[in-house]
A and B are shown apart, each in its own frame.
Chain A
Amino acid sequence: MRRAIFFALIFIAISQSIGAQAEQNYLFDGQLPSGTAAEHPLWTVVLQRHADQQAQLSACLDQLAACPRYLRGWQRIVKRAHGLNDHAKLVLINRFFNKRRYVDDVIDPVTQLGTWLTLSDFLEHGGDCEDFAIAKYFTLRELGFGPERLRILSAWDKKARDYHAILAVNIDGRAHFLENDNTVLHGRQLRPYAFLYAVNEDHWWYHSDGHRDQANL
């Protein structure tokens, strides 16, 4: 009997360890992509427009005088963040962007899709949750984070009962989530989200848990 209890405890410990590990690495655990980024129409527009605006962003980073007013603060943040460790970079970038103006999404009456903004357009006009995530994404790219470490995550917020988008960043194999309420969460700290899909410059990933959750609404 005692031996059975011992083995049962070992089994529970291993199961919990696997569960915690899977949760922490959920987005960066080697899951095969579901398609290329080019399959996401709004994200494709953002990538193209950001590429078109890159020359202005680079000139601004080289010289503050080349920055339009709405990029000046961002320029200082990027310049000063280079000397920080990765976690401090996340906290700084998250805090800087969360001070920006929140503007409701505009839904296209034909496509029934919202608008996704570039980093530059967001800093000029403000935006909603996915625009915050996109701006953080491209700023971390400027700070040397590779696309393989970044995912813009679309999720169903079970508590708020609404869709949400946040940026997920891989630091040392652990997914960190840059929330709009200034928190940088990871693993079990994460709010009750059901993941729908994630995207970076190269690919997108389907996450079935969110769709299962929606089916039960």
Chain B
Amino acid sequence: MTRNTLLSLTAAGLLLTGATAMADTTSPQTGTRIKQLPKIIVNDTANKQTVQDDDADLSPELQAILAEAEATENAE
């Protein structure tokens, strides 16, 4: 790898980094700053809850707090 090749790679890397940062605040289509909030329905059908109630992976302190909350919620 020659020195020129190395310099070219460095320049390309810097340009790529700059382009990525700019894309966060500008429209990919027009290059102008986005003013309109995208209309998106967050429906999440593929992420429905399949969470287990088991808290055994948590610390004893967090398990105790969750158990207390559940008991308080269910108390008559």
Contact status of A206 and B42, CB under 8 A, knowing A4-B1, A77-B65: no
- CB pair A72 B44 closer than 8 Å: no
- CB pair A182 B65 closer than 8 Å: no
CB-contact partner of A211 in B35, B38, B65, B72, under 8 A = B38
Chain B residues near A32 (CB-CB < 8 A): 25
How many inter-chain contacts with C-beta < 8 Å in the A-B complex? 152
Q: Mark B1-45, 1 if CB is under 8 A from A, else 0.
A: 111001001100100010011011111100001110111111111
Question: In whole angstroms, how far apart are the Cα atoms of A34 and B28 in the complex?
Answer: 14
Q: Mark A124-143, 1 if CB is under 8 A from B, else 0.
A: 00001110000000000000
- CB pair B73 A72 closer than 8 Å: yes
- CB pair B47 A180 closer than 8 Å: yes
- CB pair A96 B66 closer than 8 Å: yes
Question: In whole angstroms, how far apart are the Cα atoms of A51 and B73 in the complex?
Answer: 24
Taking residues whose C-beta sits less than 8 angstroms from the other chain, chain B's interface range is: 35 or more
Chain A residues near B23 (CB-CB < 8 A): 208-209
Question: In whole angstroms, how far apart are the Cα atoms of A160 and B23 in the complex?
Answer: 25
- CB pair A98 B66 closer than 8 Å: no
Question: In whole angstroms, how far apart are the Cα atoms of A216 and B3 in the complex?
Answer: 38
Interface residues of A in 52-68 (CB under 8 A from B): 64
Q: What are 30 A-B pairs with beta-carbon distances under 8 A?
A: A4-B6, A31-B24, A35-B37, A70-B73, A72-B69, A72-B73, A76-B65, A76-B69, A77-B65, A91-B62, A99-B53, A102-B49, A104-B43, A105-B41, A105-B44, A113-B41, A114-B43, A154-B40, A154-B42, A160-B46, A162-B47, A163-B41, A163-B42, A164-B47, A181-B51, A206-B24, A208-B34, A209-B23, A211-B38, A215-B28
Known: A35-B35, A72-B75, A105-B42. 17 other contacts (CB 8 A): A15-B13, A34-B25, A34-B35, A76-B69, A88-B61, A92-B66, A113-B39, A130-B44, A162-B44, A163-B40, A164-B46, A165-B44, A181-B50, A196-B40, A204-B37, A206-B34, A206-B38
